[in-house]
Structure 1
């Protein structure tokens, strides 16, 4: 996995995720979760192929911007423990 600190943009460079037509409603919980899954799937696939994981940074920035940090920490802990419910 990529180091979270290495993925953070420089101070003052945070941006708002662009509109995603799959999630048109105000509640962005599903968008957060889907981008978290997409990031981990992307990293897994690119690593398996021996390619750079740079393209996965987009998903990281979107979920890091949308998701509460407590959720992300819990999901990452569940992935490490092998108890994460999502399919990565």
Structure 2
């Protein structure tokens, strides 16, 4: 049992420290990584390249952002009224 927990902790990945966002409030970090993921995805899709390099941004924003925010932003993108520049 203890080895199983140790293995899970060893493989656990969360957002690393980002010097652009040194404060405790990570809202801007969440927002920036969400935008960066979709910008990266858009750029690589335009070139016809796989999106694997973009997965890092996705992992970071998934660990920082509340699920409700991400769902709202995804809905806004689908409706065409998303406030960010992608």
Question: Is the helix fraction higher in 1 or 2?
Answer: 2
* Unmatched tracts of structure 1, length 5 or more: 1-11
Structure ID, larger Rg? 2
**Equivalent residue pairs, number:** 77
TM-score normalized by structure 1? 0.84
Q: Which residue of 1 aligns with 2:76?
A: 78
Q: Decide which of 18, 26, 50 is 1:20's aligned counterpart.
A: 18
RMSD: 0.9
TM-score normalized by structure 2? 0.86
* Unmatched tracts of structure 2, length 5 or more: 1-7
Question: Which 4+ stretches in 1 moved above 2 angstroms?
Answer: none
Shift of 1:14: 3.8
